[in-house]
Amino acid sequence: MAVAVGRQSNEELRNLSLSGHVGFDSLPDQLVNKSTSQGFCFNILCVGETGIGKSTLMDTLFNTKFESDPATHNEPGVRLKARSYELQESNVRLKLTIVDTVGFGDQINKDDSYKPIVEYIDAQFEAYLQEELKIKRSLFNYHDTRIHACLYFIAPTGHSLKSLDLVTMKKLDSKVNIIPIIAKADTIAKNELHKFKSKIMSELVSNGVQIYQFPTDEETVAEINATMSVHLPFAVVGSTEEVKIGNKMAKARQYPWGVVQVENENHCDFVKLREMLIRVNMEDLREQTHTRHYELYRRCKLEEMGFKDTDPDSKPFSLQETYEAKRNEFLGELQKKEEEMRQMFVMRVKEKEAELKEAEKELHEKFDLLKRTHQEEKKKVEDKKKELEDEVNNFQKKKAAAQLLQSQAQQSGAQQTKKDKDKKNASFT
Amino acid sequence: MSELVPEPRPKPAVPMKPVSINSNLLGYIGIDTIIEQMRKKTMKTGFDFNIMVVGQSGLGKSTLVNTLFKSQVSRKASSWNREEKIPKTVEIKAIGHVIEEGGVKMKLTVIDTPGFGDQINNENCWEPIEKYINEQYEKFLKEEVNIARKKRIPDTRVHCCLYFISPTGHSLRPLDLEFMKHLSKVVNIIPVIAKADTMTLEEKSEFKQRVRKELEVNGIEFYPQKEFDEDLEDKTENDKIRQESMPFAVVGSDKEYQVNGKRVLGRKTPWGIIEVENLNHCEFALLRDFVIRTHLQDLKEVTHNIHYETYRAKRLNDNGGLPPVSVDTEESHESNP
């Protein structure tokens, strides 16, 4: 039955006006309800030297004490430690994963320090890509481990970025959303801080490091994001201890010369960081990771594997075709290899057979030789035996003959004597 | 030599079992703002919704769609030029609209199937429809499999199929059963009893019971499918709908009349005015709430997570693990070094 698929071109979408309340304005709520019941994932990577305050800052941000022992400075290399936590606030469940770089910046030779970090990030992308490429896949309840935000902790030297920082950030900026922060900001005086921040930002720009840009396309958040961006990198202080300020307990660090309050915007930018990271842009961070960084990784990975979207004649080359071509090529290779192996096997078998045959022949020859020798010996022995028998026979004959002679002689003697006797007798008469 | 076999999955640092922390006790962090953030983002991007209506001509499909979306979404067949014949084959007509309500933009596509069940010999008349649905899945799959993908893949997959049952009062017709048997596996089918104002209340409930029984006996899983109920709450809610309300007996109308001082949509007959949105008269309001106000997102998700995935898996499996080559791009292959 022929099918006439008549379709009005989709470009001319008509704008309709509704004459009553339909009710699909509840769609965002429906969507949000679904997501809330599934829960959200958020993964933060903290990159920074040992002892710079990563764990403390995480504790302060999420108002809790994540158990961890401070790392030593003796690590042989950089390794990543990931820990997952489930937080719940009103009806929102968040699966938070915090990944720490243990041993970063401690080695004497730091050439390869960035490598484990890049490998970890790539591994998470790879895991997601694998799941996406599966035939039977379950993406909607996949536990997303891709890194959504990377907090880069800059040491508060007051001068400029270290070369390790520049190199590491350059390697990470195309893979993850980087948010640079100045750690332990209470060691820098206010006027130096301003100079330090501008120096850092200009160095980042001149080295072409792409840090995360807070989105300014949507009106409600554009304003707050724009004002906050001016204060990058955020100078933060972390603390889980509380000190009595006025009549309230607040998170702070107590020094002999005063108290640094974490949540006081005059003292440090912690509140700004929390606003930006969690309360305003968490969803955007997740989306950027998925639509920009992950897609870039996927594209590179697939191209590396040999897939192309267009062939040299720039005709659109479907992935399917390339895939099939590659698959056939691969199968061909496999077959070739199999043939080769089979040939080799057959050859080996032949060789072995020939060897065995040789051995067998040798054995046969030996056997024959032995047999012949044996026979010869046997013949000799028999000859000897015969000889002996002959001798014995001869001897017997001789003996018999001798006996006969003797008996004959005796008989003839007896006869003779008898004859003689007779003669004698005869003579007597 | 480039390997097709994907590299073995590198072992990431294995996270410990998640520790559960109730942060309500320790001060406000602000995680729940993610709901607002998400809502803002989705409102900006807008939604797609594709609904297909299937049924013999004259059952009131276009009227119902217009009533559902309170606008002239489909041109009614009766307003067609008299010279236009009933199509000899099943046609698929998809018309897109953009509607906005409360700041939420929706791209609604209504897919009509004129000619279904109208011929003398209706054998295999569901095949063009099944083909169309699979074509949309194929389009989506092709986009998804591209190396350089679009940020948002345009979604033309059919999210919901309203199947119009003729109100004979007896039972389902063989054509109805055949269609639903074939299509319930590829798309969400919502059976609807059309022109329900031809039945009295008792006739209606008996008919509905018989239809439900017949669907069950024939193993037809209409939406909401039992196997996809996620938790107990969903199950009880959906059970109630499945066993009592469905199939919805509806009446459609786009004309307004004055009843008790209010303007309501209805049908005027010599013996009274049938109010479309009155639950005592017909179940249109139930259908509308079900499809639009509560289960719209779920319809889309079941289509994406289950029907589309089934199609994809089958496609990839049938071809030995790779999507098939389309006929028109068969050019010389270049074998990669």
Q: Tell me if the domain spanning B44-73+85-253+280-316 has CATH number 1.10.3720.10.
A: no
User: How far apart are alpha carbons A243 and B180 in whole angstroms?
Assistant: 69
The mean pLDDT value for A402-424 works out to 76
Residue of A nearest to B48 (CA): A27
Give B 250-309 residues with CB within 8 A of chain A.
288-289, 292-298, 301, 304-305, 309
pLDDT tens for each residue of A177-198: 999 999 888 888 888 888 899 9
Q: Output the tens digit of pLDDT for each of chain B's 337 residues.
A: 333 444 333 334 444 445 565 544 456 777 878 888 888 888 878 888 999 999 888 888 888 888 888 777 766 655 444 445 556 667 888 888 888 888 888 888 888 888 888 878 878 888 888 999 999 998 898 888 887 788 788 888 999 999 999 888 788 888 888 888 888 889 999 999 988 888 888 888 888 888 888 888 888 888 888 777 767 777 777 777 777 788 888 888 878 888 888 888 888 888 888 888 888 888 888 888 888 888 888 888 889 988 998 898 888 877 655 444 433 333 333 333 4
For residue A423, the one-letter residue type is: K
Q: Does A130 contact B102 at a Cβ distance shorter than 8 Å?
A: no
Q: Does B12 contact A97 at a Cβ distance shorter than 8 Å?
A: no
Lowest mean pLDDT among A149-158, A407-416, B95-104, B140-149: A407-416
pLDDT tens for each residue of A79-92: 888 888 888 877 78
| Contact predicate B287/B248, CB 8 Å | yes
pLDDT at A9: 39
Sequence length of chain B is 337
pLDDT at A350: 94
Q: Which residues of A touch B49 (CB under 8 A)?
A: 24
pLDDT at A68: 67
Considering CB atoms only, which of B29, B49, B301 is closest to A62?
Answer: B29
Q: Which residues of B touch A30 (CB under 8 A)?
A: 294-298
Strands B272-275 and A234-235: unpaired
Q: Does residue B86 belong to the interface with chain A, where contact is any CB pair within 8 Å? A: no
pLDDT at A362: 94
pLDDT tens for each residue of A45-64: 999 888 888 888 888 888 77
Q: Does B329 contact A316 at a Cβ distance shorter than 8 Å?
A: yes
- Compute the nearest-CA separation of A242 from chain B (Å): 12
pLDDT at B296: 87
The dihedral sign for the CA sequence A345, A351, A357, A363: negative
Residue A82 exposure: Cα atoms within 13 Å on the Cβ side:
23
Considering CB atoms only, which of A3, A302, A311 is closest to B90?
Answer: A3
Residue of A nearest to B151 (CA): A291
User: How far apart are alpha carbons B99 and A364 in whole angstroms?
Assistant: 98
Helix, strand, or coil here: B249?
Answer: strand
Question: Which is nearest to B117 in space by CA: B159, B73, B86, B157?
Answer: B86
Considering CB atoms only, which of B1, B87, B296 is closest to A24?
Answer: B296
Lowest mean pLDDT among A253-267, A330-344, B17-31, B83-97: B17-31
User: How far apart are alpha carbons B57 and B80 in whole angstroms?
Assistant: 13
Q: Parse chain A into domains and list their residue ranges.
A: 36-305, 339-390
For residue B135, the one-letter residue type is: E
Q: Which residues of A touch B80 (CB under 8 A)?
A: none
Q: Does B37 contact A284 at a Cβ distance shorter than 8 Å?
A: yes
User: How far apart are alpha carbons B133 and B158 in whole angstroms?
Assistant: 6
The mean pLDDT value for A205-220 works out to 85
Q: Does residue B147 belong to the interface with chain A, where contact is any CB pair within 8 Å? A: yes
The overall average pLDDT reported for chain A is 83
Q: Does B325 contact A324 at a Cβ distance shorter than 8 Å?
A: yes
pLDDT at B78: 52
Residue of A nearest to B264 (CA): A20
Q: Which residues of B touch A83 (CB under 8 A)?
A: 15-16, 19
Residue A262, both tokens: 């974490």
Task: Examine residue A256 and say whether the peptide bond preceding it is cis (omega within 30 degrees of 0).
Answer: no
* Separation in Å, CA B2 to CA A81, A302, A304, A313: 33, 11, 8, 22
Q: What percent of chain A has pLDDT above 90?
A: 22
pLDDT beyond 50 at A134: yes
Sequence-separated (6 or more) residues with CB below 8 Å from residue B62: B53, B73, B74, B75, B76, B77, B112
| Contact predicate B136/B157, CB 8 Å | yes
Q: Tell me if the domain spanning A36-305 has CATH number 3.30.450.40.
A: no
pLDDT tens for each residue of A349-389: 999 999 999 999 999 999 999 999 999 999 999 999 989 98
* Separation in Å, CA A304 to CA A139, A257, A298: 24, 58, 10
User: How far apart are alpha carbons A112 and A100 in whole angstroms?
Assistant: 17
Considering CB atoms only, which of B23, B33, B125 is closest to A62?
Answer: B23
Q: Does residue B333 belong to the interface with chain A, where contact is any CB pair within 8 Å? A: yes
Considering CB atoms only, which of B128, B230, B293 is closest to A23?
Answer: B293
Q: Does residue B89 belong to the interface with chain A, where contact is any CB pair within 8 Å? A: yes
- Compute the nearest-CA separation of A348 from chain B (Å): 28
Residue A290 exposure: Cα atoms within 13 Å on the Cβ side:
16
Q: Parse chain B into domains and list their residue ranges.
A: 44-73+85-253+280-316
Q: Does residue B10 belong to the interface with chain A, where contact is any CB pair within 8 Å? A: yes
Helix, strand, or coil here: A193?
Answer: helix
* Separation in Å, CA A268 to CA A149, A241, B316: 21, 16, 55
Residue A205, both tokens: 């720009």
User: How far apart are alpha carbons B251 and B197 in whole angstroms?
Assistant: 7
- Compute the nearest-CA separation of A179 from chain B (Å): 19
Residue of A nearest to B146 (CA): A319
HEC string for B274-319 = EECCCCCCCCHHHHHHHHHHHCHHHHHHHHHHHHHHHHHHHHHHHC
| Contact predicate A273/A221, CB 8 Å | no
- Compute the nearest-CA separation of B303 from chain A (Å): 12
Q: How wide is the angle at C-alpha A357 spanned by C-alphas A351 and A360, nearest 5°?
A: 145
Q: What percent of chain A has pLDDT above 70?
A: 91
* Separation in Å, CA A17 to CA A109, B50, B70, B277, B287: 68, 18, 9, 20, 21
Q: Which residues of A touch B311 (CB under 8 A)?
A: none
Which of A40, A121, A249, A283 to mutate against chain B (most B CBs within 10 Å)? A283
For residue B230, the one-letter residue type is: E
pLDDT at B123: 81
Would you give the distance in Å from CA B98 to the centre of its chain? Answer: 17
